Structure 1
Amino acid sequence: MVEENITRIEQNGKEFILIGTAHVSKNSAEQVKEVIEAEQPDAVCIELDKQRYQSIMDGNKWKEMDIFKVIKEKKASLLLMNLAISSFQKRMAKQFGIEAGQEMIQGIESAKESGAKLVLADRNIQITFARIWSGVGFKGKMMLLTQVVAGIFSKDSISEEDLEKMKCQDSINAVLSEFTQSFPKLKKPLIDERDQYLAQKIKDAPGKKIVAVLGAAHIPGIKEEIKKEHDLKALNQIPPKSKIPKIIGWTIPMLIIALIAYTFIANPAAGQQQIVSWLLWNGGFSALGVAIGLGHPLAIITAFVAAPITSLNPLIAAGWFAGFVQAFVKRPQVSDFESLTEDVFSVKGFWRNKVTRVLLIVVLANLGSTLGTIIAGTDVIRLFIENL
């Protein structure tokens, strides 16, 4: 058995065998099978959380997705981001003729065949994203979204040499590698904390001999962290949301309404101009967002009408209404859910598929409304100052 990419640790009467893998490497999957068959461990730990494990096991789960429920629960942006990151990994896997995450699937199958206890050792992906999101600030969030989208839709092919380099990264790290250099704080929740979490789960796995299937980026950190004790409860905490965005979210609409009301009393003509500006800029940019997403004319009209109103209420958003209308008039068919995993390979596919188009319309309508609010708000303030 080849020992390359294998790290052995003996500690407190237990033997830990760490396999460093690339998530799109056929050789990695074969090595996982060989190691588990040869070692016959008591437990097999894999770098998956319950959510990602369920996604792998329920390959056809997309067909059961309720697009209206996704919009209602405000998960359109999160789902779109998850699909985008998934497309990056699947594009690489397709190029090399293997299934994305094959080494994790192999770990699951080999654990069952050997009778070993399967341990889902990674932290919930949503908790990791929440901890990342809270630590990068507004500028960081914008750069993060840009970096992810740019990496996902790049059409550059990946060489065998690049693939070997990726054995030093996991699937999320690969997309965000350049971003971590610009924002060192990102490394803590993305890599360091997960090293700690994975190390503790591996230590707590039952039995005397444990095999762990991990992205190779985590091996150096886990080798150090496995010597320490870590509080999983603390690592699983979602940072409390700041009250500042909520305060700003209510203050700005109240200020806009107050400025328009004052201007209207002082100069009705200027007040009317403020109202027209608010309606046109807000509705126009939100409608433009839906149009860019190739939305149905009714969805475009809905965004235009809804945006000026929803911009004055932080609890609702123009994209939800536009998304509902789009999903109703262009309801996704079973074929759209079946082709979803293929369509996310390209920008064209994202726009063509009725499922992702609805998600795009929700996001683009909200972005347009936000931009319209900034421009219209500035114009409202200008007219107010002119009529003091």
Structure 2
Amino acid sequence: MSKRAESVADGGSVHVVGTAHVSAGSVREVEEVIDRERPEVVAVELDEGRYRQMQGETPDDLEPGDLLKGNTVFQFIAYWTLSYVQARLGEKFDIQPGADMLAAVETAEELGIDVALVDRDIQTTVQRFWTRLSTFEKLQMMGSLVFGLADPRIVGLGIGVFVGLFLGPIIGLFGPTLGLTDAVLLRAATGGVVGLGAGFLTYLVAGSFLGEEESLLAGAGVGVLAGGVGGAALGLGAGFVAGLGGFAVTALGSMTLGLTAGVLVGAAAGAAFAALGVGSGGEEIEEVDLDRLTDRDAVTVMMEEFREFSPGGAEALIDERDAFIAHRLLALREQGKEVVAVVGAGHRAGIERYLDDPSSLPPMESLVGEAKSRGIPWFKIIGVTFSLGFLAFFLLLAMAGVRNGFLLRLFGAWFLVNGLFAGGLAKLAGARWDSALVGGGLAWMTSVNPLLAPGWFSGYVELRHTAVNIADIGTLNELLSDEERPLKAVLSDMLDVPLFRLIMVVAMTNIGSMIGTALFAAYVLPLFGAELGGVDAVTRLMLDGARNSLDIILGALS
């Protein structure tokens, strides 16, 4: 578990002790080695922030301006995921995660030995880790937290509803091309109204004798059945729905078809998740042997398996930190210090290789600072293209002579639809009124430029009033560890934790803006297009605008 790496030239030495962060045996070994060796310095795998937190000090709060950089919330989620896995293992083996590092610090202080913090700043590590993950891997990481919170069947339904919200507008746009007649949409709309009413009533009634998750599943099942049979097949309530008007029938019908398809697929996926044991988590922890943890620390066990499909993530979390810690230890050794270094066992081999061969160390400059994304920035390219297309649409219509009053009404509708959904969902997630209003008010602009997100601005305002820091992750882990409480109660308590509320406000504001954009394109824009003579007329006007613009440019150049 330990090895001495000496430097003959200067007399310094480094004794590396590899520990498991959730192993009681590691705590005893750390105490024994330090007491026996009595080094000049005890170096620990901690950074300044984690050390201060371990000493009971309040960690630094997240600065509001940091949120506007874009990935701060996602990096918190990444750190939360890693912390959650380690906390579950610590719970399993009845020891506080990080107890080995705490034992090293306390033993050193008792013996009057200097303590050196040799790990890289956690925020830098998590930023570089997040940047190195692919989009699919990021979704998997966030999904692991979701599955740890809810029944896989509920997760499947939630995914289905989310997909359906975007599938519905697509059906609304291309319904006629797909052969969806007004009669079909009326039946679907009727089924949606009947199903929603029946499902909601079932959920309320079932809640009096079933658990939260069972009530949701019962409501969803009865809603789909009642909507499909009573509404769509038998046409119960069709007269009422038809009286709402053609626009309402088209919107309700297409959204019902989209949501039904999404929920059915999501329910099937959720059932498959449950059958495969996805998200059960506890079984995986049960399989981890304590002896195995004395060879590799808990986070590294997970990350070495993760390395198989995410070399970049493992590089940032393990390999770069091996090199960073080795740089710090070499500096102490070159000063002639006798050092005992307490690190996670998964880092020991890498650190010792660098100590034995310092010439193989990468430059320190390559291990610090923010990492840059690798590959083609497709998201930025799509975002810029979308923004230019939106601006071109308005500009060409204006150049074609379309009335300013029409364009102002079109913009007003765009502003209103985006604002209502973005601000409304932000408030539903627990945002303050000023946060929801800021997110809703800026949603039109951030929808035009997908490189921005209204949730960042909602979160910025939230952080002006509420302190958020890494300590919140420990509170969330405690809430998630209680598997006996109903989901609704756990979620309610989690929303009282500033970090979780911030994540939800940011996420729901962005989702609301995305939904508003899809609904505007599918249902509102065609109404405005009809005023100009339909899609063909709008296309002709845009071509006229392009020709007029070209004439003006050529005239200016001539």
**Corresponding residue to 1:308 among 417, 433, 444:** 444
Retained in 1: the 8 A contact 2:61–2:467? no
2: CA distance between counterparts of 1:79 and 1:11? 40
Question: 1:137: Cα distance to partner?
Answer: 4.0
Matched residue type, 1:362: V
TM-score (norm 2): 0.56
- How big is each residue's C-alpha offset from its partner over 1:328-372, in whole Å with a ceiling of 9 and x where there is no partner? 8xx6699x9998733443352663324134312332135315634
Gaps of 5+ in 2: 151-278, 481-489, 540-558
Asked whether 1:318 is paired with 2:454, we answer yes
Counterpart position of 1:134: 131
CA gap of 1:202–1:280, structure 2 versus 1, over 3 A, is: same
Residue 21 of structure 2 aligns to a residue whose secondary structure is coil
Retained in 2: the 8 A contact 1:85–1:152? no
Counterpart position of 2:111: 114
1:189-268, aligned counterparts within 5 Å?
A: 189-205=316-332, 206-229=335-358, 230=361, 231-240=363-372, 249-263=383-397
Residue 214 of structure 1 aligns to a residue whose secondary structure is strand
CA gap of 1:151–1:114, structure 2 versus 1, over 3 A, is: farther
Counterpart position of 2:38: 40
CA gap of 1:142–1:263, structure 2 versus 1, over 3 A, is: farther
Counterpart position of 1:6: 2
2: CA distance between counterparts of 1:312 and 1:232? 40
Identity value in percent: 26
Question: 1:145: Cα distance to partner?
Answer: 3.5
1:18-29, aligned counterparts within 5 Å?
A: 18-29=16-27
Question: 1:236: Cα distance to partner?
Answer: 1.7
2: CA distance between counterparts of 1:34 and 1:90? 25
Retained in 2: the 8 A contact 1:44–1:111? yes
TM-score (norm 1): 0.76
1:171-186, aligned counterparts within 5 Å?
A: 172-173=299-300, 176=303, 178-186=305-313
**Corresponding residue to 1:358 among 501, 510, 513:** 501
State the number of aligned residues.
379
2: CA distance between counterparts of 1:271 and 1:168? 67
CA gap of 1:159–1:9, structure 2 versus 1, over 3 A, is: farther
Question: 1:39: Cα distance to partner?
Answer: 1.0
1: CA distance between counterparts of 2:516 and 2:294? 45
Deviates more, 1:22-31 or 1:172-181: 172-181
CA gap of 1:128–1:170, structure 2 versus 1, over 3 A, is: farther
2: CA distance between counterparts of 1:338 and 1:78? 15
2: CA distance between counterparts of 1:99 and 1:250? 48
Residue 345 of structure 1 aligns to a residue whose secondary structure is helix
Asked whether 1:345 is paired with 2:515, we answer no
Residue 238 of structure 1 aligns to a residue whose secondary structure is coil
1: CA distance between counterparts of 2:21 and 2:143? 23
Retained in 1: the 8 A contact 2:34–2:108? yes
CA gap of 1:284–1:33, structure 2 versus 1, over 3 A, is: same
Retained in 1: the 8 A contact 2:307–2:313? yes
Asked whether 1:367 is paired with 2:367, we answer no
2: CA distance between counterparts of 1:338 and 1:47? 18
Residue 204 of structure 1 aligns to a residue whose secondary structure is helix
Matched residue type, 2:21: H
Residue 346 of structure 2 aligns to a residue whose secondary structure is helix
Asked whether 1:125 is paired with 2:122, we answer yes
CA gap of 1:343–1:134, structure 2 versus 1, over 3 A, is: closer
1: CA distance between counterparts of 2:316 and 2:327? 16
Residue 260 of structure 1 aligns to a residue whose secondary structure is helix
Question: 1:192: Cα distance to partner?
Answer: 1.9
Matched residue type, 2:48: K
2: CA distance between counterparts of 1:255 and 1:246? 14
2: CA distance between counterparts of 1:373 and 1:44? 56
Question: 1:105: Cα distance to partner?
Answer: 1.0
Question: 1:317: Cα distance to partner?
Answer: 3.9
Asked whether 1:100 is paired with 2:232, we answer no
**Corresponding residue to 1:188 among 315, 320, 324:** 315
2: CA distance between counterparts of 1:227 and 1:220? 11
Name the larger-Rg structure: 2
